[in-house]
Amino acid sequence: MKTVSTISTGVISLLLSVTGMQAAEPPATAEQKTEWQNISAEICQTAGLDTGDPKKVPVYMRNHQGLLVLPNGDVVILNNQKGMYRSTDQGATWTKCGEDWMKGCAQSSMSLKMYYPDRIGLTLDGPIAVSSDLGKSWVKVNRSKQTVFAADMDLSVNMPPKTILGFVHHGDLAGGMFVQTSDGGATWDWAAPVLKETKGWLRTGVVNASTLLRGTEPGKGGVPAPGIHLRTDLGQNWTQVSDYTLHGTSPVHYGSNLYWAAKEGIVVSRDGGKTWSVCGSAVANIVFGPYFGKSEQEIMVVSFKDGYSLTRDGGRSWSHVAPFFAAPDRWGEPTNERTCTPNDGRHWRGALWYFGWDSEKNILYESLFGGDAWKLQLSPMPPAR
C-alpha cells in the first residue's frame, strides 16, 4: 500500500508565500508525523477501473469521482462508469453497492452528503439518488432533460424529496444556471429571481419543502460575498438574514439544524435559516465541511490553508490534527483550486475534492476528482478542554 508523508511546515509556508495567502492562527494543535496511505489499488482491481496515464485518460473516467464516509465508518467510492463500491474495513476490500443506474460524477465536494444519521442525498453528474437506510436501498429522482448537480434537497419528511435546488451542468439548459423542482422531479424550472440570471458559483440551500437559502451573488472573479438570504413559501422575495460569507456550496443538515462552511468558521442555524451564528469557537476560512462523526458534537472541517481540524464538543474547542494533504495526482499541477489565491473564486469553490472522517477509529479520508483515495490514521484525540 503506497504511503506519502504529510507536508512539512516548510512546504506549507512556501505554498502560502507563492499563493499570497496569509498565515492565520490555527486551532490547538494535535498534529503528528504519520503517513497517508493510498487505498485505491484494491478497488481499482475489484471494479476494473481505468488507471491509465492521467495525461491520456479523461479525468472524469479515471479512478474515482466521489467519496463518502458513513457514520458507521464504511467508505463509499463512486466511479463514473462502474457506479458505487463500499468498504467496511477502511479500504482493504470493496464490494459493489447501490443500483446499476447510479453512475456519474459528483462534481462538488458536498454532492455526497449526510442529512440525517440514516439518510443520504446524492446529486451526480447524471441521476439524483436518495436513501433513508444508509445506502441499503435507493430511490431515483426524475431529472428530466437537465443534469442537476451541486444541489441541496429536503430529506426531512419527503422520500423521494419534494424540493431540490441546484445547478444545471449538461443538457438543454446548460450554462451554470440554477433550477428547482417542488414536485419531486416531475417538473423542473428556472429558480425564481436572481438565481435564473446567475451563472456564478452561487451557494444554495433547502431548509424544507417550501423554504430556500442562498448566498449573495459572487463578486468579481467569483469570490464569495457576504450575506445569507432566505426565501419562504417558494415565493418571489429574498430577505437577507445574515452577513456571514459562505464558502461551502450547500449547507450540511443534521436533523433540523443547518451547518455551513463560511469565512468566519462553521455557521449554524437552528430555526430554519432565520438566524445564524458561529458554531462554538471560530476556525476561519473553512472550505469543506462540516463532516459529522457519530453525533452532532463530533465535527471535522478542512481548509486549504490550515488543513484538518476536529472537535468532539460541538465546536467549543478544536484540535488541528493535520496539514492539508496535496495528493500526488494529476490535479496537483498546474494551478488548481488549492493553489489559487483567495482572490480567485475557484479557491473557495471546492468542486473537485472529497473528504471524510471515521470518528470512532479517527481516520481521515481524502480523494481528488479522477485521482486516488487516501487515508490517514490519526492518534487518539486529546480530551476536550
More confident site: 36 or 134: 36
Q: What is the domain range of residue 258? A: 112-279
Total domain count for the chain? 1
pLDDT above 50: residue 7: no
pLDDT at 22: 41
142 lies in some domain: yes
196 lies in some domain: yes
pLDDT at 15: 29
pLDDT above 80: residue 39: yes
pTM score, whole prediction? 0.83
The tens digit of pLDDT for each residue in 216-248 reads 888 777 788 899 999 988 777 899 999 999 988
Distance CA 193, CA 182 (A): 16
Query: Which CATH number goes with the domain that contains 126?
Result: 2.130.10.10
5 lies in some domain: no
Phi (first) and psi of residue 26, to 5 degrees: -80, 165
Q: Prior bond to 160 cis, omega within 30?
A: yes
Q: What is the percent of the chain where pLDDT is above 90?
A: 24
318 lies in some domain: no
150 lies in some domain: yes
Output the average pLDDT for the chain. Answer: 77
137 lies in some domain: yes
209 lies in some domain: yes
* 68 CA to centre of own chain: 9
Task: Provide mean pLDDT across the span 143-161.
Answer: 75
Check: CB of residue 280 under 8 Å from CB of residue 316. yes
pLDDT at 268: 96
Q: What's the DSSP call for residue 13?
A: H
pLDDT at 111: 47
256 lies in some domain: yes
Query: How do 28-29 and 319-322 pair as beta strands?
Result: parallel
Distance CA 150, CA 358 (A): 23
